[in-house]
Amino acid sequence: MNSVPFEMGPIRPVDEADSLLIRTTRGCPWNRCTFCTLYDDMKFSLRSVSEIKKDILAAKEYFKGHPFETCFLQDGDSFVMRTKDLIEILETLRKAFPSLKRISSYGRAQTMVKKTPSAMKEIFNAGLNKLYCGMESGSVQVLESVRKGITPESIIKSACMAREAGMDTTQFIILGLGGKKLSKLHAIETAKVLNEINPDYIRLLTIGVKPGSGLDRQMAKKEFSLPSEAQIIAEQRLLLEHLEGITSHYANHHSVDLLLEIRGQLPGDKNRLLAILDRFLSLSDVDQINFVLGRRLGYYRQLSDMKNDIQYRAVEKQTRKIRQTDPDSFEEIFHNLRIQVI
Ligand code: SF4
């Protein structure tokens, strides 16, 4: 039950923590990705313009002149709205909250390619100036295997159209989504697509297979095999190595990511970021396990925290206990800790 007098959806991007949230759609119009359980119990619906406008006015009344600078349109894809309806909502929002500098939304590639470049420009001019896209991978095989319902072509076309219209774009990538089998392909093909788009922001997320998801069932049938933490870092290294000629801001920014210090501006910071990944990969097996467990349990925030002898020994005590009971269970434990934060 909402404690505010207007409707709110279940999620927002990490970067929208301080934003006004206005719900334009309920759920996801696709809702078939095998790794996603977000809207499992929710039937997709478009909210009517009058309903959304009522919410905007209720939010205005509720927040009483709060100078919001950012607003995020929930839930999964505001571009399914008719262009003229979306523009009406954006205009109402800007009138009700004149301090807004940024209005953002998720956008599905397959929906956005149905808009014309001039419609995208009109939407941008009406105020929607930031777009979050979950491309997840640039590999056809990976996209098909997780039933993402988008193609590298639609990802590139929609992202380029949004950028040309003037929108800031963020692309989310899920590390490990191709499993062990498609890991290399996932890294290299994703880099290729990102090189074509040159998004403003690239955000990496590390895979966590939610119980009850399609991917979980595939894993149980041994059709999908989860890469280890070190393999996921090696995958990321390959991806980053293949990013060429782009100027995106690149970051691991979700607590599910192992190396939160991977954050920088391309191309200038590329070598520095590769060096951090290499630092992890060159650790001994014992230290890799110590770092991953320490990071996942909250002892460490970054690699250099391992130098703190007290923390290192505290984590070592935990790893010793696991080795004594089940030395083969580390990766399972790491994965379980990951899914607790997504
Ligand atoms: S990942 Fe995105 S597109 Fe896929 S089902 Fe979830 S919300 Fe929908």
Alpha helices, DSSP H, located in 204-299: 214-220, 229-241, 270-281, 285-297
Q: How far is it, in rounded angstroms, from Cα 18 to Cα 69?
A: 9
Protein residue closest via CA to atom 6 of ligand 1: 36
Work out which ligand 1 atom sits closest to the CA atom of 29: 8
In this structure, the answer to whether residues 215 and 199 fall within a common structural domain is yes
Determine the distance separating the centroid of ligand 1 and the alpha carbon of 66, expressed in angstroms. Answer: 32
Is the CB of 13 inside a 6 Å radius of any atom of ligand 1?
Answer: no
In this structure, the answer to whether residues 253 and 320 fall within a common structural domain is no
In this structure, the answer to whether residues 309 and 265 fall within a common structural domain is no
In this structure, the answer to whether residues 26 and 126 fall within a common structural domain is yes
Protein residue closest via CA to atom 5 of ligand 1: 31
The pair of three-digit structure tokens given for residue 294, joined into one six-digit string: 């320490």
Comparing C-alpha atoms, which of 244, 131, 238 is closest to residue 178?
Answer: 238
pLDDT computed for residue 48 by the predictor: 97
The pLDDT tens digits for 188-226 are 999 999 999 999 999 999 999 999 999 999 999 999 999
Total number of domains constituting the chain: 2
In this structure, the answer to whether residues 103 and 241 fall within a common structural domain is yes
> Does 25 fall in a domain?
yes
Q: To which H or E segment does residue 120 belong?
A: helix 117-126
Residue 160 clears pLDDT 70, i.e. is over it: yes
> Does 3 fall in a domain?
no
Q: What is the pTM (predicted TM-score) of this model?
A: 0.96
Residue 302 clears pLDDT 50, i.e. is over it: yes
Number of other CB atoms surrounding residue 310 within 10 Å? 7
pLDDT computed for residue 1 by the predictor: 46
Q: How far is it, in rounded angstroms, from Cα 179 to Cα 197?
A: 25
In this structure, the answer to whether residues 277 and 304 fall within a common structural domain is no
In this structure, the answer to whether residues 252 and 342 fall within a common structural domain is no
Parent domain of 312 = 289-342
Determine the distance separating the centroid of ligand 1 and the alpha carbon of 146, expressed in angstroms. Answer: 10
Residue 2 clears pLDDT 80, i.e. is over it: no
Residue 123 clears pLDDT 80, i.e. is over it: yes
Is the CB of 342 inside a 6 Å radius of any atom of ligand 1?
Answer: no
